[in-house]
Amino acid sequence: MSGRQIVLSVCAVLAVVLLAGLGDINAASSDNHDWPQFRGVNRDGVSPETGLLNSWPESGPKEVWRVPIGEGYSAITIVGDRLYTMYGGKDGAEDVEFAAAFDAGTGKEVWRTKIGLKHETQFGTGPRATPLIDGDLVYVMGSRGDFAALKKSDGAVVWKLSIMEKFGAGQPYFGFSSSAILDNGQLLVETGGPEGKLFSGLDKVTGEVNWSAGDGATEPSYSSAIAIDVGGQRQFVSVTTKKLRGINALGKELWSYDWPEGETHASPVFIAPDRIFASGAEGVGGTLVRITFDGETYAATELWKTPFMRNHFSSSVVHGGHLFGFDNATLKAIAVADAKLAWAKRGLGKGSLMLADGHLLVLSDQGKLLLVEATPGKYVEKGTVQALEGRCWTAPTLSDGRLYLRNHTEMVGYDLNG
């Protein structure tokens, strides 16, 4: 056997080992109704649920419950009959951030745990990252970089660390926002810091650091990574300072694409089998790249680039050969093949969305909830309701036919079962 054949054989074995650990990504969800992490089971903003209402009455879908909640942008995750999110509030005289669990049927708070002090900015205060549920644990990140593993049953702290203290990271202006991802028993966390570099792999049980790698960025970015399979290897894809890149389970960079400076908060979107759409706000725009593997090395090739489809804080979704998302303050549908505009809808501000049962569930930045057909033919609205008031920058969550929304003051559940 030649040296090259030996290397390829070893790579194949490693790929099998890594792929064997893929269960961790979805381990939190044995039921396809669960929504155990940021943007759902596959971190793509797409729900597999069907049988939902395909139109709404004039009054909107049935409201199940509505409860008060503190400020924050953390999205809602759900496993079984419990919801998990984070919010800001008071602990005595201190302004702090809590992770909390709620009963999915009633909205009643089951437990809450203080995670750290609240980070305040002119664009809103409170936690940004979304809880990740795996087995009996909930992993949470506060806006000041307090990262913790909590017991799912009662919120007790199993382990906790400070990203700034542990890795020497600087405080991002808008706060720590990246939501952790889990694979092969390991948490991938964007840590930043000159010593910890950019990414770190943490043991999910103990929180011990397995490795740290990257380009030594002082502050982590605001975008959250996704996990994909290309070229027979599991890899994490993220948009960070100056790079869209893929890294393996040991933190080794497999490929990269130069990324323009500017605000990039949205997560990349994987378009099977080998394409990545990434987008940023002011001055960045949208880009589609293809990831190739020649048996030895990976490469990223630009397929198209457009100054439009500027996802701000809300990522796009892909369906039927089209990307649906917010180009700054305009909801748009564009073709994956060439970025050609299919339709556009103004008046919703910098909203957010998800995809379920052939429809978009769209939440405007002022709390208007809409049901829209996920079709490139034309914009077709099938229902609307004023779900919340004030600033709404948190994407919807769907589980077992119920839609969950939140803003800085309220959380609400709607029944969408057909």
Per-residue pLDDT of 103-159, as tens digits, reads: 999 999 999 999 999 988 887 889 999 999 999 999 999 999 999 999 999 999 999
Distances (CA, A) of 222 to 62, 129, 142, 178, 264: 34, 9, 13, 5, 7
At residue 55 the predicted structure's pLDDT band, cuts being 50, 70 and 90, is: very high
Task: Retrieve residue 1's tokens.
Answer: 């056997």
Quote the CA–CA distance of 99 and 113 in Å, as a whole number.
5
For 193, residues 6+ apart whose C-beta sits below 8 A from its C-beta are 163, 164, 167, 168, 169, 170, 216, 218
Domain count within the chain: 1
The answer as to whether 364 is a domain residue is yes
3-class DSSP assignment, residue 372? strand
For 393, residues 6+ apart whose C-beta sits below 8 A from its C-beta are 73, 124, 313, 314, 350, 352, 365
Of residues 112 and 183, which shows the higher confidence score?
A: 112
pLDDT attached to residue 10? 37
Task: Retrieve residue 99's tokens.
Answer: 């992770």
The answer as to whether 244 is a domain residue is no
pLDDT in tens, 348-365: 999 999 999 999 999 999
For 3, residues 6+ apart whose C-beta sits below 8 A from its C-beta are none
Quote the CA–CA distance of 300 and 291 in Å, as a whole number.
5
Percent residues over pLDDT 90 in the chain: 80
Quote the CA–CA distance of 279 and 265 in Å, as a whole number.
8
3-class DSSP assignment, residue 54? coil
Q: Is the dihedral of CA 261, 262, 264, 268 positive or negative?
A: negative
pLDDT attached to residue 183? 87
Return the DSSP state at 74. Answer: P
207-224: b (≥16 Cβ within 10 Å) or e:
bebeebbbeebebbbbbb
pLDDT value at 44 more than 70: yes
The answer as to whether 416 is a domain residue is yes
For 4, residues 6+ apart whose C-beta sits below 8 A from its C-beta are none
For residue 396, whether the previous peptide bond is cis, meaning omega lies within 30 degrees of 0, is no
pLDDT value at 240 more than 90: no
CA-nearest of 86, 94, 92, 93 to 113 is 86
Quote the CA–CA distance of 34 and 76 in Å, as a whole number.
11
The answer as to whether 303 is a domain residue is no
Over range 157-184, report the average pLDDT.
Answer: 93
Of residues 128 and 27, which shows the higher confidence score?
A: 128
Distances (CA, A) of 162 to 56, 170, 210, 388: 46, 11, 16, 34
The answer as to whether 252 is a domain residue is no
368-382: b (≥16 Cβ within 10 Å) or e:
bbbbbbbbbeebeee
Q: Which domain holds residue 375?
A: 32-73+347-418
Task: Retrieve residue 307's tokens.
Answer: 């100054």
pTM summary value: 0.92
Quote the CA–CA distance of 258 and 240 in Å, as a whole number.
10
Strands (E), 60-172: 62-68, 77-79, 82-91, 94-103, 109-117, 132-134, 137-141, 146-151, 157-162
The answer as to whether 358 is a domain residue is yes
Quote the CA–CA distance of 414 and 388 in Å, as a whole number.
12
At residue 29 the predicted structure's pLDDT band, cuts being 50, 70 and 90, is: very low
The number of residues in the chain equals 418
Return the DSSP state at 232. Answer: T
Query: Average pLDDT over the chain, rounded to whole?
Result: 91
Rounded CA Rg of the chain? 20
The answer as to whether 407 is a domain residue is yes
The answer as to whether 103 is a domain residue is no
Contact 224, 239 (CB under 8 A): no
pLDDT in tens, 307-337: 999 999 999 999 999 999 999 999 999 999 9
* The amino acid at 291: I
Q: Is the dihedral of CA 202, 74, 166, 247 positive or negative?
A: positive
Return the DSSP state at 118. Answer: P
